[in-house]
Amino acid sequence: MFTQLVKNKLTLERYRNGPFAEEREQYLTHLSQRGYGKGRLTGINIQLLAIAQRLRISVHKRVTKAAVSEAAEIWMKERRQRSSLPHSLVLVKTDFISIACNWLRFLGWLDEARPALPFADQLDEFLIHLRDDRGLSEATTIHRKRTLEPFFSWLAARGGAIATVTPRDISEFFSASRAHGWARPTISGCVYSLRSFFRYAASRSWCAPDIAETIDKPRLYCHEGLPQGPAWKDVQRLIESVSDGNPTHIRNRAVILLLAVYAFRINEVSKLTVDDIDWEAERLHVRRSKLKKVEEYPLATEVGTAILRYLKEVRRVAAP
């Protein structure tokens, strides 16, 4: 994650060699998966290094909010000596404390008063099993704990118990989660944790057998985070808007049709020449920039008509 935010080699080494680099990078990755932009992640990355350098984190990895405030004061004094606008540091201090607390809470290192977690005994035993029997890393056990807590809280709020959980209960939990805006990757991570827990719970006779096998994860798509294209009806409306005799519209209609019908890239359309069109065979030859080869496509009637109109009515033939 550091390499995506820092380009200078010396600066990159400073982030990699700073205290708790693995934990800082893990948190940045988590925020990136939640949709944080590069600009905000860059700022948080800078703050995290400052936080890690100034916090006194015990061997037990427990940090109080008072310790966070103390680190923020130390950092403020250093900044105040260099800043020409000391009043603006109040907002920066607030950001420092907020980022520090969120990072420590993510790691499970923030020592704060919290209400007792429902089914804490079963959860603790399960996490010990993951760590001691299965040899999973601390980061994985923290992730399992964090993804199981919402389900346990939801179950307790309904007056339920682990012993009486049914597949319908779990389905209703995920339906409620989707209503609260959970993305598919978040739900998928929760599914893995619930399957793992209920397999262990069944082995300990805490619940009905085979609950884990009924928990289905949502299908994930490798490019699902990419923005979707416009609806076809909107594309048709755009084409209709350039259907008059305006020379610019005549040219734009040909370009839009090439983009919409063939999904060509704009640089592939801009490099098209008259020689790329075989009018007799009704074929279109395009140099694909990424594939680095020429591909052949059938020339759609509407596209060919638009190109031909552009060539006849708009394009000026250069004098020899």
| Choice between 169 and 231, residue whose per-residue pLDDT is larger | 169
> Do 181 and 241 have their domain in common?
no
The whole-number pLDDT of residue 224 equals 52
Q: What is the pLDDT of residues 244-292, one digit of tens each?
A: 889 999 999 999 999 999 888 888 888 889 999 999 999 999 887 655 6
Please check whether residue 305 lies inside any domain of the structure. Answer: yes
Domain that holds residue 277: 232-313
Please check whether residue 225 lies inside any domain of the structure. Answer: no
Boundary-marking domain end, from 94, 111, 128: 111
Query: By percentage, how much of the chain surpasses pLDDT 70?
Result: 85
Please check whether residue 319 lies inside any domain of the structure. Answer: no
> Do 27 and 80 have their domain in common?
yes
Q: Number of folded domains in the chain? A: 3
Phi-psi region of 159 (alpha: psi -120 to 50; beta: other; left: phi over 0): left
Instruction: List residues bridging with 296 in a β-sheet.
Output: 285
Say if residue 84's pLDDT is above 60.
no
Nearest partner of 19 among 48, 44, 43, 40, judged by Cα? 48
Contacts of range 296-301, beta carbons closer than 8 Å, 24 or more positions apart:
297/262, 300/257, 300/261
Please check whether residue 50 lies inside any domain of the structure. Answer: yes
Residue with tokens 């420092």: 96
> Do 190 and 243 have their domain in common?
no
Q: What is the pLDDT of residues 202-234, one digit of tens each?
A: 999 999 888 888 887 655 455 555 556 778 888
Greatest Cα pair distance in the chain: 89
Please check whether residue 223 lies inside any domain of the structure. Answer: no
Please check whether residue 90 lies inside any domain of the structure. Answer: yes
- Which CATH number is 151's domain given? 1.10.150.130
Contacts of range 32-36, beta carbons closer than 8 Å, 24 or more positions apart:
32/1, 32/4, 33/185
> Do 66 and 13 have their domain in common?
yes
> Do 99 and 154 have their domain in common?
no
Q: Write b or e for each residue in 64-103: b if 16 or more Cβ atoms lie within 10 A of its Cβ, otherwise e.
A: eeebbeebbeebbeebeeeeeeeeebeeeeeebbebbbeb
> Quick one: average pLDDT of 145-166?
89
How far apart, in Å, are the Cα atoms of 291 and each of 129, 287, 288, 295, 315? Answer: 50, 8, 5, 9, 30
| Choice between 86 and 91, residue whose per-residue pLDDT is larger | 91
> Do 100 and 125 have their domain in common?
no
Boundary-marking domain end, from 57, 83, 111: 111
> Do 37 and 106 have their domain in common?
yes
Please check whether residue 221 lies inside any domain of the structure. Answer: no
CB 32 within 8 A of CB 55: no
> Do 79 and 152 have their domain in common?
no
> Do 203 and 239 have their domain in common?
no
Torsion angles phi and psi, residue 230, rounded to 5? -70, 155
Question: Across all residues in the chain, what is the average pLDDT?
Answer: 82
Nearest partner of 52 among 101, 78, 19, 79, judged by Cα? 19
Please check whether residue 272 lies inside any domain of the structure. Answer: yes
- Which CATH number is 261's domain given? 1.10.443.10
> Do 105 and 128 have their domain in common?
no
CB 280 within 8 A of CB 235: no
The whole-number pLDDT of residue 319 equals 39
Q: How far apart are alpha carbons 209 and 190 in whole angstroms?
A: 19
Boundary-marking domain end, from 76, 111, 146: 111
Query: By percentage, how much of the chain surpasses pLDDT 90?
Result: 17
> Do 199 and 239 have their domain in common?
no
> Do 188 and 257 have their domain in common?
no
Q: How far apart are alpha carbons 164 and 170 in whole angstroms?
A: 11
Please indicate, yes or no, whether the overall pTM of this predicted structure exceeds 0.75: no
3: tokens are 């390499």
Say if residue 87's pLDDT is above 50.
no
Q: What is the pLDDT of residues 176-199, one digit of tens each?
A: 776 566 776 777 888 889 999 999
